[in-house]
Each structure stands twice: as structure tokens, then as C-alpha cells.
Chain A
Amino acid sequence: MPGKRLFIAVFLIPPLLLYGIFVVSPYAQAFQIAGTNWSGLSPTYDFVGLDNFQRLLSDGYFWNALRHNGLLLVLLPVVTILLGLFFASMISVGGRADRVGVHGVRGAGFYRVVYFFPQVLSVAIVGVLWKEMYAPHTGMVNGFLRAVGLDGLAVAWLGDPRFSFWCVMAVMIWMNVGFYVVLFSAAMQSIPRDLYEAALLDGAGRLTTLVRLTVPLVWDTIQVAWVYLAIIAIDGFAIVQIITDGGPSSSSDVVGLRLYKTAFADGQFGYASAIGVAMFFLTLTVAAMFLRVTRRERVEL
């Protein structure tokens, strides 16, 4: 057909150019810069091979940050998915059977809308909001604790190395649960109602129904949720940077923040790229491990 080649070229080349310049080339360069001692300001740099990676192995700050990412990787998906499943099952099948059968609780639509609020807000708003929530004198958290007479518990949440990391993790759970409630309850909508009625007739309680019936049927969705929460856990940069900036004394540091500071505060661009490359391979490893572990038989309906 005449003009077909021209058409394809006109439609494909501009997007490819934009994509190549700003996305593909930086990723490719990351690997190259990781092998240098470039400080960014100097025009010259030396190729240092794997020195950056060797330095990484003995870098206490890096390991400290990595440990926090590891904790997030384990706890964030577990807690978020459990809460999500629990709320979603309450919303979609929590109202027990009556004459019209098993259905959702009253106000299900309202809950779905409200739970989703944190998801549409930017991480900057969530971060700043919670930083104020945790503030020792003016924050809502301590205000509540004092109001109910627990003055002893009203501590400087973000200023204490024992609590700061957990406070940030709580915010990450808070901002993500709503999305998975909506996702899981959408998945649960497609489960035939009569299965629930049968379970009810067999005398299964809510918990048994959730564990034995609902979870196997939405297992695919749970896997997807796990992957996305794992990605959030490996990153975590923005929310940590805004709420605690990794402090006090690196007690809430994560690898993404380490990379950012190494590059843009210390100017060690070669080393920062090496951190990025290391994280890249860690991500791949985690993904591969995950795929092996979750090979579980699918339930056919």
C-alpha cells in the first residue's frame, strides 16, 4: 500500500526518539557510570572496574538501609494484603445471608470510595500530612493519646530511632491498603454468590469462609498485589525522604535514599550508580524467587 511505510515512520519515530533519549539511554548509561569514580563535576573520570561494588560490600550505611528494605519487603506486603483481604471480604460478603442471599455490608460503596482517598493523593501530601500527624506537641497522634489519658505514650515518634522506621512503615501501609481493598473486592465480586451460600449452609464461619473459600479464589489477584507491594518496598524513597529523611541517625534509611544522597548531596555519581545497579539485580532476584515460590495450582471455576 502506498504511503504505509511513511505512515509507520511518522507515527513511530517521534515516540521512539523521546523514549530513547530519556528512558533507554539513562538505563544503559547507569551500568557504564557504575564502573567509574566519576564525581559529576570533573570532566574526566577513571574506569575503576568493580571497585564500587567492592566498596558497597563493606559500606555499613548501605547494609543498614538494605536491612530496612528487607523488613519492608517482608512486612509491607503481608500486613497490607491481610488488611486488604479482611476489609474487602467484609465489604463484599460481610453482610450475612438473609432472604436475598449473601451480599455486601450496608454502605459498601461509601467504604470503597473513602478507603481509596490516600491512593489519589501525592506521596508529597501524604508525607507532609503524616509528618505533622506525628509531631510531638502539635500532632494529632499525640493529641489523641493525651486526650485518652495515655500521656506516657505521647513521645517524639519521628525523633526516636526506636520508632521512626516503624512510623514510616505504618504510613506506607496506611496509604496502600485502600487500593488493595478495592482490587480484592472487585475480584470477589466475580465469585458466584451460591458458593458463599453453600459455605454458610455447611456452617462455615466468616473466618473459615475467608481462608478456605475466598483466598484460593482470588489467589491470582493476591499474587499481583504481592508483586506491586514488593516494588513499593524495594523503593520507598519518596515517603522516607519526606517524613524522616532517613533519620534520626540513619534509623529509617532506605537504599533509594542512600542512592539519592550519594549522588546529589555527596556528588559521588559513580558510586551512586553502582548502588542502583546492585538494587537492579536484587530486584531481579526477588522477582525470580517470588515466581518460583508462588507456583501454586490455580483453582478453576
Chain B
Amino acid sequence: MFLAGWALLTTLPLLWAVLSSFKSDTEILTDPWSLPSRLRWENWERAWNEAHIGRYFLNSAIVVTGALTLTMLFGAMAAYVLARYRFRGRRIVYFAFVGGMMFPVFLALVPLFFVVRNLGMLGTLPGLTLVYAAYSLPFTVFFLTAFFRTLPTSVAEAAMVDGCGHFGLFFRVMLPMARPGLVSVGIFNFLFQWNQYVLPIVLMQGEGAEKKWVLAQGLTALAVNEGYRGDFSGLFAGMTIAMLPVIAGYLLFHRQVQSGLAAGQLR
């Protein structure tokens, strides 16, 4: 059956990486298809500490937490104003945000590097956080503007009559009502930011920057280095550590993840 064949083709490589993370280097070198003779957690320990996967993991977590918060807050604020208020220049602002979805990122890479350098934020976590958030805004604003427009106006009017100010209305009434939209776009942004590779390799270079590397970048550097040192089991362990949390999270929330990503592509 073709279906089962492709299912094998998607799962076997992942399974192979997990199994190889428990093997010794000799086992890996002699037969790629053999099973590990015992569970060697020390490979994971080595990857986590000596190969600094632990540090990269932490950096990724810090950057994505900050960037995701900022993206969702700023995105919701801008989208709400654009969807619910009439003012001069509204359309221009909207198209300025949405237009950002259409350009390939690598057109901006060279100037972006210098913008961040001139701000003194090259190779720093706050710099990367701000850039992640900025590049997540176009889609977030686009998606949430459409979402805020669908919310009923009657609730907002009722709250206004009850003496609720603009700020109170947004934070206490509209944000809770927009929850389903926020969750979809949040999942999309989380994956976009957690899996980001191009932005960090451009922005996290220079003196001492390798301490600030994020997971995606640290892993590829590990692949290059381990190739020379011959520590294959360490590399597979690092890969597994990077892979498992995402797969586990996906398995828990697969419905939301799929619909979130599908919404993202059908923009």
C-alpha cells in the first residue's frame, strides 16, 4: 500500500535518529540498521553539556518566549485598531504591514545585518527577539485584522455604554473574545520562530556570538564539527533532543497545529 509506504518514509528517518542516539560510535559505523545494544543516555548528556545543546535550547526558549509575547501583543494591538477604528491613513498602514508578506526575506538580509549592527544588537538575544517579532508582524496583523472584523459590535457597544474605556474594552472584552484566532496565529508564529534558521545565522555572528546561538543554528554547527571529531552518537543525541519536544507538542495538539499552519498558508 502506497499510503503505508510514505508513512514509513516519514517516520523511519526520525526513528533512525532516535535509535542512533543510543548507539555507540562503533555500532553506528559498522551497521546503520542495527539496534543499539543498550540505552546509552551518556550520549544525550554529552550533547546537552559538551556540545552546548542545552545552552542553545535555553537561548531558543528565551528568544521565542520574548518574541512571541511581543508579536502577539503588538500584532493584536495594531490589528484591533486597523479593524475597528476609522482614521486617516488606515489603509496605507494596513497595506504596509500586509505587503511585508510578499517579499522574500533574503532580499532584506544584507541591509538588515547592518541595521542590527548599527543598533549594537548584532549577536545579542534582544536583537534577535526584536527581529523575530518584526518579521512575524505582517501575517499576524493580516490574520488578526480579519478576525477582529468578524467579532460582533454589539458587545463592544454595550461595554462602552457601561463606561468601559478604549483600553479596558481591548484588554478585558476584545482580547478574550479573540482567543481562538490568537491561538491559531500563536501556534503558527511559534513554529515560525522556533524553527527559524536564516535570521539567526545572519544575525548571530561575530565575536562571542556562539554563546548566544539558538537551537537550529547550534545543531547545524554541531553537525559540521562532529563530522570532523567523529562523535556521531553525540550528533544524533543532539538531533533527538532538538526534535522530541516539537514532535511531542505536535502530537498533543496536532489538530490545532494543522489548522493553524493551514490558515497560515491560505492567507
User: Which A positions have Cβ atoms within 8 angstroms of B?
Assistant: 3-5, 7-8, 11-12, 14-16, 18-19, 21-30, 33, 40, 83, 86-87, 90-91, 94, 105, 107, 110-125, 127-133, 137-140, 142-144, 147, 174, 177-179, 182-183, 186, 224, 228, 231, 234-235, 237-238, 242, 256, 259-260, 263-264, 269, 272-273, 276-277, 279-280, 283
User: Which one, A25, A119, A280, contacts B107 given CB within 8 A?
Assistant: A280
Complex Cα–Cα for A139 and B243 (A) = 19
Interface residues of B in 210-267 (CB under 8 A from A): 215-217, 219-220, 222-223, 232, 235-236, 239, 242-243, 246-247, 250-251, 254, 257-258, 261-262, 265-266
Complex Cα–Cα for A177 and B10 (A) = 10
Q: Is the interface of A mostly helix, strand, loop or mixed?
A: helix
Complex Cα–Cα for A283 and B102 (A) = 10
Count how many chain B residues have C-beta atoms less than 8 Å from C-beta atoms of the other chain. Answer: 91
Instruction: Please tell me if the beta carbons of A122 and B195 are within 8 angstroms of each other in the complex.
Output: yes
User: Which one, A8, A121, A280, contacts B103 given CB within 8 A?
Assistant: A280
User: Which one, A120, A235, A272, contacts B110 given CB within 8 A?
Assistant: A272
Instruction: Tell me which residues across on chain B come within 8 A of A16, comparing CB atoms.
Output: 78, 93, 96
Instruction: Please tell me if the beta carbons of A21 and B115 are within 8 angstroms of each other in the complex.
Output: yes
Complex Cα–Cα for A111 and B113 (A) = 42
Instruction: Please tell me if the beta carbons of B262 and A125 are within 8 angstroms of each other in the complex.
Output: no
Instruction: Tell me which residues across on chain B come within 8 A of A114, comparing CB atoms.
Output: 7, 10-11
Complex Cα–Cα for A25 and B96 (A) = 12
- Which 5 pairs between the two chains have the least Cβ-Cβ distance? A122-B195, A143-B32, A124-B216, A22-B134, A29-B111
Return 22 A-B CB contacts under 8 Å, by A number. A11-B78, A14-B74, A15-B137, A22-B134, A26-B109, A27-B103, A27-B111, A87-B6, A90-B3, A110-B7, A114-B11, A117-B250, A120-B191, A122-B194, A129-B14, A129-B17, A131-B223, A224-B266, A235-B104, A269-B114, A276-B108, A283-B104
Complex Cα–Cα for A118 and B75 (A) = 28
Interface residues of B in 104-150 (CB under 8 A from A): 104-116, 119, 130-131, 133-135, 137-138, 141
Count: A-B pairs, CB below 8 Å: 249
User: Which one, A14, A86, A147, A237, contacts B77 given CB within 8 A?
Assistant: A14
Instruction: Tell me which residues across on chain A come within 8 A of B215, comparing CB atoms.
Output: 122, 124
Instruction: Please tell me if the beta carbons of A119 and B261 are within 8 angstroms of each other in the complex.
Output: yes
Instruction: Please tell me if the beta carbons of B33 and A144 are within 8 angstroms of each other in the complex.
Output: yes
Nearest-Cβ distance from residue A229 to partner chain B, whole angstroms: 10
Complex Cα–Cα for A231 and B107 (A) = 13
Instruction: Tell me which residues across on chain B come within 8 A of A144, comparing CB atoms.
Output: 33
Instruction: Please tell me if the beta carbons of A128 and B133 are within 8 angstroms of each other in the complex.
Output: no
Instruction: Please tell me if the beta carbons of B232 and A138 are within 8 angstroms of each other in the complex.
Output: yes
Complex Cα–Cα for A264 and B141 (A) = 32
B28 at interface by CB-CB < 8 Å: yes
Instruction: Please tell me if the beta carbons of B110 and A279 are within 8 angstroms of each other in the complex.
Output: no
Instruction: Tell me which residues across on chain B come within 8 A of A234, comparing CB atoms.
Output: 104
B205 at interface by CB-CB < 8 Å: yes
Nearest-Cβ distance from residue B18 to partner chain A, whole angstroms: 11
**Interface-central residue, A5, A140, A231, A283, by most chain B CB under 10 Å:** A140
B158 at interface by CB-CB < 8 Å: no
B22 at interface by CB-CB < 8 Å: no
Instruction: Please tell me if the beta carbons of B7 and A128 are within 8 angstroms of each other in the complex.
Output: no
Nearest-Cβ distance from residue B153 to partner chain A, whole angstroms: 15
Q: Is the interface of B mostly helix, strand, loop or mixed?
A: helix
User: Which one, A8, A21, A40, A128, contacts B219 given CB within 8 A?
Assistant: A128
Instruction: Please tell me if the beta carbons of A30 and B239 are within 8 angstroms of each other in the complex.
Output: no
Which of chain A's residues has its CB closest to B196's CB? A122
Instruction: Please tell me if the beta carbons of A120 and B246 are within 8 angstroms of each other in the complex.
Output: yes
Instruction: Please tell me if the beta carbons of B107 and A276 are within 8 angstroms of each other in the complex.
Output: yes
Complex Cα–Cα for A94 and B3 (A) = 10
Instruction: Please tell me if the beta carbons of A25 and B254 are within 8 angstroms of each other in the complex.
Output: no
Complex Cα–Cα for A15 and B103 (A) = 19
Instruction: Tell me which residues across on chain A come within 8 A of B266, comparing CB atoms.
Output: 183, 224
Instruction: Please tell me if the beta carbons of B239 and A140 are within 8 angstroms of each other in the complex.
Output: no
Which of chain A's residues has its CB closest to B219's CB? A124
Instruction: Please tell me if the beta carbons of A224 and B265 are within 8 angstroms of each other in the complex.
Output: yes
Binary interface encoding of chain B residues 170-208 relative to chain A, with 1 for a CB under 8 A from any of its CBs, else 0: 100000000000000000000100111110001001000
Complex Cα–Cα for A118 and B158 (A) = 47
Instruction: Please tell me if the beta carbons of B112 and A22 are within 8 angstroms of each other in the complex.
Output: yes
Nearest-Cβ distance from residue A61 to partner chain B, whole angstroms: 16
User: Which one, A14, A118, A125, A128, contacts B10 given CB within 8 A?
Assistant: A118
Complex Cα–Cα for A91 and B6 (A) = 12
Nearest-Cβ distance from residue A19 to partner chain B, whole angstroms: 5
Complex Cα–Cα for A179 and B266 (A) = 12
User: Which one, B93, B242, B265, contacts A12 given CB within 8 A?
Assistant: B93
Complex Cα–Cα for A280 and B20 (A) = 42
Instruction: Please tell me if the beta carbons of A23 and B265 are within 8 angstroms of each other in the complex.
Output: no
